[in-house]
Chain A
Amino acid sequence: MRFVLRRAGFFLLTLWAAVTLNFFLPRMMPGNPAIAMMGKFRGKVGAQELQTLEQIFGADSKQSLPAQYVHYLGDIFTGNFGTSLFYYPSPVIDVVRGAIPWTLGLVGVTVILAFVLGTGIGIISAWRRGGLFDSLAPPLLVIASAIPYFWVGMMFILIFGLKLQWLPWSGGMNLTDSPAWTPSFIGDVVEHALLPGLALLITTIGTWTLTMRNNMVTTLADDYVRMARAKGLRPHRIMLNYAARNAILPNLTGFAMSLGFVVSGAILIEYVFNYPGVGYMLLQAVENEDYPLMQALFLLITVAVLVAILLADIATAIFDPRTRTSR
């Protein structure tokens, strides 16, 4: 219990620091949102509209920085992130709510699949060390993980999207779809997610496989595994409950971190596949000095990562009793 409380206290302190940084950093950037909007529409709207935009965005408001900070802290607790400037006049909460399901669906599912598959392959490779599977799967996956995932994505577009025309390669759904829980819409979304998802998957499995296999090889040589064999336990019980359970700890921490970062999206995949999501949105928010949107997204990422770390700590404590008592 003391362990959990200590972790929670640390969590709150980090959260406050992150939230504060989140407030001050964007405001140190040059320019203002109105100027950024002008840049976006260069050649399309006249320069006199700068004043119009400054009025709309309140860029010329004279509230002092500390006052803005207090206001901001209050807003965070009430979940009020204001109006997005880039997507004006949509509320930030709606903008984020529109994008986050795509990211969770694509990147979230891919990260979980990559972890499960990668770890599984790692376990089997280590168990059958030197076998055919072990000499093929891990090296191939490691090579794949060294290729930039957007490049794999582009090759997929070329081969499966344009040459063979098997799968859609742009957007998250058919243009004329309207979102609804119907089988045809869900099927359509899954179809659109296949190419970007696969590109992410095959380039991320490798790291999990490699660490899992190597940890597993070490634990397999440990005395308690030899003991288990000597006791005559069934092989697969030894593999999973003795060797894998101990080998998985570093991977588990890594997995929690990855889950935390899921909400930051996959910018380049979104870019290459024109896929909706928060990654590119965050980039746009930064480029266009959309403070309210930026703050909401950074906050979301910070909280997700911190929560993930907290959960990883607790999970490690459950798997490995030694961490609980350490001073």
Chain B
Amino acid sequence: MRRFLITGAAALLAAALAACSSSSSPSGSSGGGANAGSGPSGTLTISNEQGTEWNCSFNPFNPGNLGEGITMGQVYEPLAFVDTLENAKVTPWLATSWAWSDGNRTLTFTIRKGVKFNDGVPMTAADVAYTFNLIKKVPALDVNSVWSVLSSVTQSGDNVVMTFKAPSVPYFYYIADQVPIVPEHVWSKISNPVSYADSNPVATGAYIVKPCTPQNITYVANPDYWQPGEPKIAKVLYPAFTSNDPANTYLATGQAQWGSQFIPNIQAFYTSKSANNHYWFPPIANVSLIPNLTLPGLSNPLVRQAIAYAIDRNKVANIGEYGEEPAANQNDIDTPTFTSWMDSTDAAKYNYAYNPTKAKQLLTQAGYTLGSDGIYAKGGQKLSFSVINIGGYSDWVASMSVIQQELKAVGIGLTAQNLAQNDYLARLYAGNFQFAYYAQTGGPTPYYELRQWLYSANSAPIGKNASSNWERYNNPATDKLLDDYALTTDAATQHQIVDELQQVVLSDVPFIPITEEVGWFQYNTASFTGWPSPSDPYALPAAYAYPDMGQVLLHLSPK
């Protein structure tokens, strides 16, 4: 999915379609049809706009293919599955078990027996060791920089032993869940694995690509898949959609059963069309207002606290995001996804509910006085800033105009600069902004997002690209907390550290979470059951989430 780029044309078509609701009955003709006999049956169609046609490359180390969610999970499989929505619950995948030892400096995986690649060759621990040493040898394949913490990976019988330079518990997620295991007998013959297209992937997954055209990927069930009775769906179609409207209409008419994109006015356009149409948008990260901490005014925590009090996050969520993304909190904890991590004691202490009076009070306390133009200033330095935003994201532009009004009401000036995406990102990474509006990618616990925001190694001097600490926050005590988390597998200690990290965000306000970024997910229950839901959140439900898509396909079955 891309975020929604609503053109006039799109809005018009959406409105027109919403108006003529009764006629097009969701036939679901392409779906379902369970056979009486055993074996996989039915055809599932996915509707997820990518804005491009397929290049039919399934190289699982190419961030482009990964981002589309077409290769990792259902075709290539990782060692284990980490469920973001169930408190990082780990399920075995190609590994049957694992253990940390040597003070969390050694991680040993026991590799599953009886797994075959789809060319009939057995998958062994040698393939796993080969995969990790391949991405060591070719750093461009090491998408998650796992070799920044690893020191060696060796095979020992059915085991693969990984040693680390230092205790690195959080890296389990990147190593076990995010690295696709590739066959040594195929990849060792490839001269350049970076530019390898891999159009007929040899992998262990439940689905085989057969065939792929620029307009559609057809996945067929792997007849020799290692999990007995899986997969239950015979065929999965993944058409390429270059724009949002045809993709949405495909969903609304029931031609596709699994959607992963924004649908404006979803009740009228989608759920009202059929009782079988449902949606669920689990929050996974926080869209935040990012101050440039190196600038005068914004380097003052009192000013940032004032801003956090001045913004009515619910109003932003309702007006800017049509209520489809919930309001965020200053703890930077996505609720309900990570509610168990929430430090509610400290949240209550600061109570960052909408409070413009408190905001003004804080600005006065910081030594600012209200000027005749209605803007606070100190020593000639006005609290008047610009914010960069992506002009193509109509929801973010709408959100920003709400934020502007609210800041103006407490005496802080904000002018929006809506930029083209490339221009925007270049400025965000290089720190060439006063305020920015953006989100992190997050991870299976709140720690990952907090680390992305706060770790000083993710920062860079202004003018150099920072990987995720765009506000340029630098606090050795916070770095220590983040490092300590990596030392322990003890849940109580981890919770305590995340609590302390929340206190950092609450008191220092290095960034201001505004709305919760969600995973888009629409589904039709006419022909298929087993969809992820709030009561059974077994995987991230968006089709672009990897390797989660593979898990969803293993849970689905025709009715």
Contacts and interface: CB of A to CB of B under 8 A. Distances in A.
B215 to A, nearest CB: 5
A191 interface: no
Interface in B234-257: 237, 239, 241-243, 245-247, 249-250, 253
Interface residues of B, number: 74
Contacts of A15: none
Given A89-B197, A175-B237, A274 B246 contact: yes
Interface stretch (A33-41, A131-139, A308-316): A33-41
Contact of A39 (B24, B239, B422): B422
Contacts of B330: none
B425 to A, nearest CB: 5
B549 to A, nearest CB: 12
Contacts of B420: 30, 287
A47 B213 CA distance: 30
A284 interface: yes
Contacts of B194: 56, 89
A79 interface: no
Contacts of A271: 9, 242-243, 245
B139 A55 contact: yes
A159 B17 CA distance: 10
A32 B429 CA distance: 12
Nearest to B422: A31
Contacts of A87: 52, 55, 57
A151 interface: yes
A171 B195 contact: no
B195 A83 contact: yes
Contact of B425 (A35, A162, A178): A35
B389 interface: no
Given A151-B9, A178-B213, A48 B63 contact: no
Interface string B5-31: 000010011001100100110000000
Contacts of B294: none
A45 B213 contact: no
Contacts of A165: 24
A273 B13 CA distance: 12
B63 A52 contact: yes
B16 A43 contact: no
B246 A38 contact: no
B403 to A, nearest CB: 20
A52 B143 contact: yes
B421 interface: yes
Contact of B17 (A37, A39, A53, A158): A158
A190 interface: no
Contacts of B211: 178
Interface string B404-420: 00000000000000001
A170 interface: yes
Given A39-B421, A52-B63, A150-B9, A95 B55 contact: yes
A90 B218 contact: no
Given A38-B425, A162-B20, A170-B250, A45 B55 contact: no
B43 to A, nearest CB: 9
Interface string A151-171: 100100110001101000111
Contact of B52 (A36, A86, A163, A178): A86
Contacts of A173: 215
Contacts of A276: 53, 214-215
Contacts of B53: 98-99, 276, 281
A86 B50 CA distance: 12
Q: How large is the interface on A (under 10, 10 to 19, 20 to 34, 35 or more residues)?
A: 35 or more
B271 interface: no
B57 A272 contact: no
B242 A270 contact: yes
Contacts of A170: 239, 246, 249-250
Contact of A154 (B13, B24, B390): B13
A86 B65 CA distance: 11
Q: Which interface residue of A47, A49, A95, A171 has the most chain B CB atoms within 10 A?
A: A47
Contacts of B144: 46, 48-49
A52 B9 CA distance: 37
A191 B423 CA distance: 41
Nearest to B421: A39
Contact of B421 (A36, A43, A98): A36
B12 to A, nearest CB: 7
B386 interface: no
Contact of B249 (A56, A162, A280): A162
Contacts of B216: 171, 175-176
Most buried by A among B195, B246, B285, B452: B246
Contacts of A163: 20, 23-24
B64 A43 contact: no
A158 to B, nearest CB: 6
A56 B284 CA distance: 29
B142 interface: yes
B481 to A, nearest CB: 20
Interface in B120-145: 139-145
Contacts of B337: none
B144 to A, nearest CB: 7
A41 B239 contact: no
B253 A162 contact: yes
B67 A40 contact: yes
B340 interface: no
Contact of B197 (A90, A150, A270, A281): A90
B316 interface: no
A29 B426 CA distance: 11
B517 A43 contact: yes
B177 to A, nearest CB: 13
A117 B359 CA distance: 69
B8 to A, nearest CB: 10
Contacts of B467: 46-48, 50-51
Contacts of B64: 37, 40-41, 86, 88
B218 A45 contact: no
B250 A41 contact: no
Contacts of B218: 175-176
A179 interface: yes
Most chain B CB within a 10 A radius of its CB, from A163, A173, A272: A272
A172 interface: yes
B273 to A, nearest CB: 11
Interface centre among B3, B143, B420, B422 (most CB of A within 10 A): B422
Contact of A46 (B52, B421, B439, B441): B441
A170 B247 CA distance: 9
B291 to A, nearest CB: 18
Given A35-B425, A154-B9, A175-B237, A41 B67 contact: yes
Nearest to A173: B215
Q: Which 8 A-B pairs give the minimum distances between C-beta atoms?
A: A31-B422, A41-B67, A274-B246, A87-B55, A89-B195, A47-B467, A175-B216, A39-B421
Given A49-B144, A287-B421, A288-B422, 15 more contacts: A29-B422, A35-B425, A36-B422, A36-B425, A44-B66, A44-B544, A46-B144, A89-B62, A154-B13, A162-B24, A170-B250, A176-B218, A178-B211, A271-B243, A274-B247
Interface of A: 29-32, 35-53, 55-56, 83-84, 86-90, 95, 98-99, 150-151, 154, 157-158, 162-163, 165, 169-173, 175-179, 268, 270-274, 276, 280-281, 284, 287-289
7 contacts: A29-B422, A32-B422, A36-B422, A47-B452, A150-B9, A154-B16, A163-B24
Interface of B: 2-3, 9, 12-13, 16-17, 20, 23-24, 45, 51-53, 55-57, 59, 62-64, 66-67, 69, 139-145, 194-197, 211, 213-216, 218, 237, 239, 241-243, 245-247, 249-250, 253, 284-285, 390, 420-426, 429, 439-441, 452, 458, 465, 467-468, 517, 544-545
